[in-house]
Structure 1
Amino acid sequence: MHRYYGIAAFVGLMIAAGLMIFLQDPIVPSWDVGDTPAVIVQAAPKPVPAPAEGTKPLPIGQGFDFYVLSLSWSPSYCLSDEGEGNQQQCGSSKAFGLIVHGLWPQYEKGYPESCASDQPDRVPDNLGQHYLDIMPSMGLMGHEWRKHGTCSGLSQADYFRVTRAAFEKLKIPDTLQQPEIRQTMSPDGLEQQFVAANPGLSTKAMSVTCDGERLEEVRICMTTDLTFRACEEVDRKSCQRSSITIPPVAN
């Protein structure tokens, strides 16, 4: 009898030992032996930053066919009776060359003017002060907004923003970069200088106008997204003189 008790006790010990080993070293799937699978964590998508002011899409005007960027030769204007009384633009301390007369919405024939608008008639100082370097008169800004800007389909702020973009699109030839001496040349010659300085511009997309014998304005035709384009009606209004004088910029 004692012999059977001994055998039973021995078997019990063996079973208990096997159970302990099982609990300490459990069986795992073959793919997990010695190399647990990596956990894939996806990073959260980075937010897209808002565009900076200079990279905002250009506002596109509506209700017309193209723009005329009209640039006035300030020294000629300041020699006129009207210019003599304009202290913002003219005077011994002023040294403006080509300034923006206006950005004019045009039809293929003719142009709109003084359109109905929900914007104020007056250009506020806190807006206009940002454009005095290219349009050196608050009175000029107000006039251009009321007559032409109201027909652009744009707000005041967007209209003047597009006006600056149009001005900066154009490269001014060296001839008109603050010249200190009086110059004489043909209107066609001046147009060719603009064409040479601006890839994509042709003489059919511009005109040079004169006030008597003096250079008055340079007018450039642009699409609503400010690409140079031909404009027959504007081109026909070029000065017909064989030569014009370009008064020097005052110092």
Structure 2
Amino acid sequence: MFRTIRISRIISRLLISLVLMVVAAGMAFAQDRRQNTPGEFDFYVLSLSWSPSFCEQASERGNGGRSGAQCGGRPFSFVVHGLWPQYERGFPEYCQRSAEWLDRNIMTSMLDLMPAPGLIFNEWKKHGTCSGLGARAYFETIRKARAAVKIPEEFLQLSEPKSIAPDELEAAFIKVNPGMSSSAVSVTCDSRRLSEVRICLSKDLQFRSCEEIDRRACRRDQVLMPPIRGG
């Protein structure tokens, strides 16, 4: 009897494992058939990180010394985290595993927008290789995407901590960016602070809706924007 029960449990576990494998395979297939094919994607997400939040988090983790120029004396507000190729569902990443090198001149040319060499290199490996562009063209596209988005004036020299509703922050961006809708921008946060504003752009860098990105937005009533350093 006990042997029969044991065999039944083993069979049940095997069936559960098989079901989970089938579900996982189905989800991967449903994500996109073009998975990780360079240049084959639907739109971009421009991710703008609120630098003061990043620096506070780095300090709390004891990594403040590793944050380099971003958390020094320069008054950074929103900085570019990345420009990410996306599918309508899911996203590609690390599309060229051999992309181990990035020209130093390209890296240094981006430090005004992305003030961390390690970030620039990682963004190229993880996301840039999926754009179908060469490194120089990819980072030129990042610069164009950033130029296409206007930062609301009230956030450029924030000297005091500010508590703000995510919807209010989105509305501020929509107000100063004609053509941007609420379905094209979303806000992310940690347990209490603003993390990023993410803006969806077509391949030709026009604002466009992106429901999946919007579903992953911050659900807090209010988020804290720490003040800009060195301002």
Check the 8 A contact 1:170/1:198 in 2, yes or no. Answer: yes
Corresponding residue of 1:151: 130
Corresponding residue of 1:114: 94
Residues 39-118 of structure 1 mapped to structure 2, 5 A cutoff: 62-81=39-58, 84=64, 85-91=66-72, 93-116=73-96
Give the alignment partner of residue 237 of structure 1, picking from 206, 209, 216: 216
Separation in 2, partners of 1:116, 1:99: 26
Aligned partner of residue 69 in structure 2, secondary structure: coil
Structure 1 position 169 matched with structure 2 position 165: no
Q: CA deviation at 1:117?
A: 6.5
Give the alignment partner of residue 197 of structure 2, picking from 202, 218, 225: 218
Check the 8 A contact 1:113/1:151 in 2, yes or no. Answer: yes
Corresponding residue of 1:51: none
Separation in 1, partners of 2:39, 2:102: 21
Q: TM-score, normalised by structure 1?
A: 0.73
Q: CA deviation at 1:128?
A: 1.3
Corresponding residue of 1:32: none
Spell out, residue by residue over 1:117-147, the C-alpha distance to the aligned partner (whole angstroms, 9 max, x if none): 77x4232221111110000011000000000
Separation in 2, partners of 1:160, 1:178: 26
Separation in 1, partners of 2:132, 2:103: 19
Separation in 2, partners of 1:181, 1:123: 38
RMSD between superposed Cα atoms in Å: 1.4
Check the 8 A contact 1:62/1:153 in 2, yes or no. Answer: yes
Separation in 1, partners of 2:118, 2:214: 28
Check the 8 A contact 1:121/1:145 in 2, yes or no. Answer: no
Check the 8 A contact 2:51/2:76 in 1, yes or no. Answer: yes
Structure 1 position 142 matched with structure 2 position 114: no
Q: CA deviation at 1:231?
A: 0.1
Separation in 2, partners of 1:206, 1:122: 32
Q: CA deviation at 1:178?
A: 2.1
Separation in 1, partners of 2:89, 2:225: 30
Check the 8 A contact 1:221/1:230 in 2, yes or no. Answer: yes
Check the 8 A contact 2:96/2:125 in 1, yes or no. Answer: no
Q: Higher helix share goes to which structure?
A: 2
Q: CA deviation at 1:175?
A: 2.3
Q: CA deviation at 1:156?
A: 0.1
Q: CA deviation at 1:174?
A: 1.4
Q: Structure 1: give runs of 5+ residues left out of the alignment.
A: 1-60
Amino acid at match of 2:40: G
Aligned partner of residue 71 in structure 2, secondary structure: coil
Q: CA deviation at 1:179?
A: 0.9
Residues 194-213 of structure 1 mapped to structure 2, 5 A cutoff: 194-213=173-192
What percent identity do the matched residue pairs reach? 48
Amino acid at match of 1:80: Q
Aligned partner of residue 227 in structure 1, secondary structure: coil
Amino acid at match of 1:86: S
Separation in 1, partners of 2:71, 2:101: 22
Separation in 1, partners of 2:69, 2:227: 18
Q: Structure 2: give runs of 5+ residues left out of the alignment.
A: 1-37
Aligned partner of residue 102 in structure 2, secondary structure: coil
